[in-house]
Amino acid sequence: MSVFRPVRCLFSGSSIRCSRPRVRCRNFHTSLNLYEQRRPQFPGAKASKMDLIDQESSEMEIPDPEDKNFKEYTSEELEALEKRYTPGQIKAILAGEAAIDVEDLERRGVIRTDIGGLPYFDDLSKLRPVVDRDQLYEGPIDPNARRMTDKEFSDAWQKEYDQAVREAEMPPPKTEEEAEDRKERLTGSDRIAWMKADDRVPHYMGTNGPIPRAHTPSMLAPGLPRTFLNDEQPKAQVKKEDDEDDADPRDPEGVYNRLIKQTGLTLDQILEYKVKILVQHRVVNQTRLGKIASVYCLAVAGNGNGRLGIGEAKGQETEETSSNAKIAAIRSMQPIPRYEERTIFGEVEGKVSAAEVKLMCRPPGFGLRCQHLIFEMARAAGIHDLAAKVPRSRNKMNTVKATYQALLKQRIPDEIARGRGKKLVDVRKVYYAGRV
């Protein structure tokens, strides 16, 4: 579109009209234009317009059960709610459930599972070995539990010590001097009995006497499991490495045995990875003895769910070199940030030597429109919508490395929010059209 603007001529001084193209001007910031911003689907609703407030009594009315989007409460559930909430709170709960649209909740209430997701929920059904202690007692807690006095603790410790001495089949001390000498020396079975007594002695007194150590709740992190010398310990069974009967038919030559021992992965997990050789060619090294030929391989490995790694190897045999490259790629896998588990965050660039790569995010259903090397890397990482440009050198090895560098240097919204001092919700509204 063109506009006419009067311009004064430098020679005659008269005004003339000339045309120039209209340039689209916009401010230099990241906010979306008004026509690009997402309009709220529902206008502002007031309680008076929703007929939730009675003008005479000014009390909230319970909506009609037919208008509810959630399952109706049974009589037992209502009785349980009445024990915990007041009548006004119950009315507010019912009104809130009636006002929520299930379709809108399914569309907007998305829990992120990518690398940028926050731990909103804590799975209390699993025990973490560093923080949680194993639950040894499931009975009720004694309401009259109290800390033992010094006299009660010493008597309980002496009782546990005598029990440990009887288990060790030690002769009891004949005199008090011998007992004191055992406590001071603490050698052999005396030391074991002392340690057992410290491990078993209770610390709390309940209604019916001392509370056993296993029944006492503790806020401390669990320690290492204690084993004593005179306890019967099962002998560890040593597995022979050269046992050919235990060889897996899927890996008869044992190519992944060392990788399994180093990483703790199983053979099933390794075989599920998407591994492929992207670059393979012959190289020559000039030495004083002549030209020494070898094979170079560059492989890519990913689990299809946000992890990707590249590995390279060089050797004389093609098959052995490709196996080493695949193992190196699996060992070097790192998490790749993904937006909505399908594309990248914004636009990123990578450069290795003369090869430059520019990766761009795309909407759902766009697909992978890029060259075959980047296509294989995106598919291995679990990226489904992506566009890429390689404007300069297209060396295969440098292109793969530049793409891997670009995928790792993405700026996720969490980093942008921390850098700008804003909330994560505000950053997502600006950069990703309001989808939260």
Model confidence, pTM: 0.48
AA identity, residue 258: R
173 band by pLDDT with thresholds 50, 70 and 90: low
Token pair recorded at residue 431: 């950069």
What count of other Cβ atoms lies within 10 Å of the Cβ of residue 417? Answer: 16
CA distance 183 to 194: 8
Instruction: Give the confidence band of 84 by pLDDT, cuts at 50, 70, 90.
Output: confident
Give residue 51's region: left, alpha or beta (phi > 0; psi -120 to 50).
left
User: Is the domain 256-335 a CATH 3.40.50.720 member?
Assistant: no
Which residues have C-beta within 8 Å of that of residue 252, sequence separation ≥ 6?
none
End-to-end CA distance of the chain: 37
Decide if domain 347-431 falls under CATH 2.70.170.10. Answer: no
What is the sign, positive or negative, of the torsion defined by CA atoms of 176, 180, 185, 191?
positive
d(CA 49, CA 55): 12
- C-alpha 356/C-alpha 391 separation (Å) is 7
Q: Which helix (H) or strand (E) holds 331?
A: helix 318-331
Mean pLDDT of 174-183: 70
Give 270-321 pLDDT, tens digit per residue.
999 999 999 999 999 999 989 999 999 999 999 999 999 999 999 999 999 9
CA distance 404 to 351: 10
DSSP code at position 142: P
pLDDT at 87: 87
Rounded to an integer, what distance in angstroms lies between the CA atom of residue 195 and that of residue 228?
8
More confident residue, 128 or 10: 128
pLDDT for 283 equals 95
Mean pLDDT of the chain: 77
Residue ranges matching CATH 3.30.230.10 in the chain: 347-431
- CB-CB neighbours of 59 under 10 Å: 11
pLDDT band at 215 (very low <50, low <70, confident <90, very high): confident
Closest CA to 205 of 247, 151, 146, 269: 146
Residue corresponding to tokens 């990913």:
302
- CATH 3.30.160.20 residue ranges for the chain: 256-335
Helix (H) or strand (E) holding 191: helix 189-200
